[in-house]
Structure 1
């Protein structure tokens, strides 16, 4: 008897990702696999990223597992639902118990259970997966297992929340040997001339941004000892020799004490690998920036979301836009690349706020920036605020929260062109600042920016 751990992301079915080609291993599943191994529980991890649903199903048919646990998020939800229905209706797979986990299930329990899933794991998955699987194979009651949901006579039943792991020191290293790591490294090398891997050092985020989901790890702050993180980096360096590391933590520099310990340990253990991370502007200072640089940091993503203080306050970001701008500028000056995130279409945002965002991006001059139209994720404060104003609520099984729309200051089309205007205007400014600016490129960018702005104004 065994359990199969899997997800439902297939990179060759994703046209957008095929243009980007920056895949990362399913770190959460690797942690669960390692935890099950440590507890002598037979498990098979099928990483579907580079394969097809047909090959995934053939694997499940061969293994005939007692349970299949599937990681679910916004991006994979539709594929997960299709996978569940196949496993629940076709006899050749042995009718395994279906367990779903991940950030999207917490506030959609009824919907997911009615697609055919037997159990949902709410919150962290390692301990709950082990206990639930043991109950399944031993045919024991599961009502006492904390952190799960299931249907009873057609009604959703939830057990009490599971107490989060207090010490991440007890977590084994992710079971990277269970998946084709070489395929990830080769894909990165082929498309970007350098390889990249992910590492997690913490769980939980203590901040309260209204649009952000904390469905899995909550607002706690728990961290692996710096010595253990450095040891993991050393293993990765010696085993896979990646060109860079992406730390997946929400706020990498939340603890300055930990950063000092991390700096000391990576130097002592010869574990330096160039890395990038995400943090908040007020958790950076000159000393921390210098420590990060010496520890191998080459890029820092510093959240802003808007260049308008009014919108930042509405998001409950609890940061001053000028502090963010200064942090980006200081990081640039130190020779570390910067990135920032921008959101348009947030409730209450006006044309003046969008213009403030454009000016902010020009002045801060981050090396990279991403921009998206705000959308409400169920379970967040933003969703609760706009729920009564939702104008587009598509079929749940065939859509995601990204497809939800609500009454905003302006029509939806306005924000599509606002994004184009901001991108072209900021890129124009970047090109203009170059020592040898390309005049032809400048003309094209300015023309695109002007056209987008004109159409945006027409859609006010």
Structure 2
């Protein structure tokens, strides 16, 4: 049977290629959220009257998605790609390329992993990369016919792209300006996907549901391990009244028990936070939420505003309990500030969390022990520990680039990058155990409680392991591991 090529009138498909079944860390903590960035692009296309489909892969299998794409036979498929999903998406693209039903398919990639890896993606079968903010650029691509998608002269006229030029080499078009007013964005098209699996997963794991909301884009800070591939160092925010209107709509439609504000620094603008509290009061809306922020953007007044607006959990970034390491990271915050603000939030009845990173260049055991002292003083309810890995495009990566090794581009991601660290893999495994059990000792209360005794023994064994591997294991490049969350 002769089938027409995939591009002869098929739809545009937006998807993200994240599969929960491939993520053991998420399966353990089970806090999945809808693909908010993709749904924002979908809403923008809807506003422009551009027909498209959205495939949410989170709770599906690769084979199931391949079967649906065979049914839809799209002319264009656009993936939102992160360093976590690179390998899976490229594997899926290979399958599509090998299937005659998808002859002529245009494959587009956007998201945080696209900008600084554009050449590698082009070499692995991707036709076009969207760099930066995606709404307007994706709308421009959606309006093209299939032939135009392969015409370098046409693509050269669309800002915010990387594609193959007429000479076959990567060609970058002028950068697209950020949307000046986030209030002009439509609300994410959550109606295009089924939220029930997310809520069910939350209920089974935590006994409550949660839904993600974005109020801002970008971060004005300069932490040198953090990627700013999409929004740069910009900071833009939706008006508090529009955010509250969206929350009211979501509460009426889905009634989530909690909200998760995905913003990098929720309390960066104190005036906005005051407006947010006023708008919630005016709407008669009561919510519960968690957010992330920085200690230097926290004060006693901000803590009071968080309490007033329904904050139940605040994550305050630390990354290390060593001021020397914080300064090397260009964190622009002190250990004392972080400690004080975690304690202030806890005193106000807000659950607290903090982020830690081990293995940053130049870190020594003294810095790890300082991190232990920070946890002991701050006493957060939860913390996560990540082994440092350099992301392409960051100052951290630039500093170690000549020494970075890793798997083939399509067989891993920046999370798998290796670089010379102070100690070997086995040492850091013991350091992770040490911090985990030491924090558990703090929470156990009575020193002779059986649980406390077990953790004390584990702390001693971990410290012995750190000593042993510091003395006898070579300081080879470490292999970054997944984030561990402790609560």
- TM-score strictly above 0.5: yes
In structure 1, what is the Cα distance between the partners aligned to 2:102 and 2:147? 20
1:107 is the counterpart of 2:116: yes
Structure 1: how far apart are the matches of 2:286 and 2:193?
Answer: 24
Matching residue within 65, 71, 89 for 1:62: 71
Q: Distance in 1 between matches of 2:178 and 2:448?
A: 54
Alpha-carbon distance between aligned partners in 2 of 1:3 and 1:70, rounded to the nearest angstrom:
11
**Residue from 365, 370, 373 that aligns with 1:351:** 365
Contact 2:81 2:112 in 1 (8 A): yes
Structure 2: distance between partners of 1:102 and 1:438: 51
Of the three residues 421, 427, 435, the one matched with 1:414 is 427
Q: Residue 440 of structure 1 corresponds to which residue in structure 2?
A: 450
Distance between the aligned counterparts of 2:393 and 2:425, measured in 1? 23
DSSP-derived class of the 2:260 partner = strand
User: Which consecutive unaligned segments of at least 5 residues does structure 2 have?
Assistant: 1-8, 471-487
For residues 175-254 of structure 1, the aligned pairs below 5 Å read 175-254=189-268
Find the partner of 2:467 among 425, 449, 457: 457
Q: Which runs of 5+ in 1 are unaligned?
A: none
Deviations 1:313-366 (A, max 9, x none): 000000111011000000000000110000011111111111110001011001
- TM-score using structure 1 length: 0.97
Equivalence for 1:118: 127
Report what 1:129 is aligned to.
138
TM-score by length of 2: 0.91
Please say if 1:73 is aligned against 2:82: yes
* Inter-partner Cα distance in structure 2 for 1:264 and 1:151: 51
Contact preservation (8 Å) 1:418, 1:456: yes
- For the residues of structure 2 that align with 1:319 and 1:83, how far apart are their CA atoms? 42
Task: Give the structure 2 partner of residue 3 of structure 1.
Answer: 12
Q: Shift of the alpha carbon at 1:89?
A: 2.3
CA distance in 2, matches of 1:104, 1:441: 43
Backbone CA RMSD of aligned residues? 1.4
Inter-partner Cα distance in structure 1 for 2:47 and 2:190: 14
The 5 Å alignment of 1:260-339 reads 260-339=274-353
Q: Write the distance in 2 (CA, Å) between the matches of 1:16 and 1:291.
A: 33
CA distance in structure 2 between the partners assigned to 1:338 and 1:190 by the alignment:
23
CA contact (8 A) 1:413 1:459 kept: yes
Residue 16 in 1 paired to residue 25 in 2? yes
* Partner secondary structure for residue 77 of structure 2: strand
Distance of 1:437 and 1:268 partners within structure 2:
49
- How far apart in 1 are the matches of 2:256 and 2:234? 30
SS in 1 for 2:107: strand
Q: Is the 8 A contact 1:297 1:336 kept in 2?
A: yes
Deviation at 1:412, TM superposition (A): 2.9
Task: Tell me if structure 2 keeps the 8 A contact 1:206–1:221.
Answer: yes
Which residue does the alignment assign to 1:93?
102
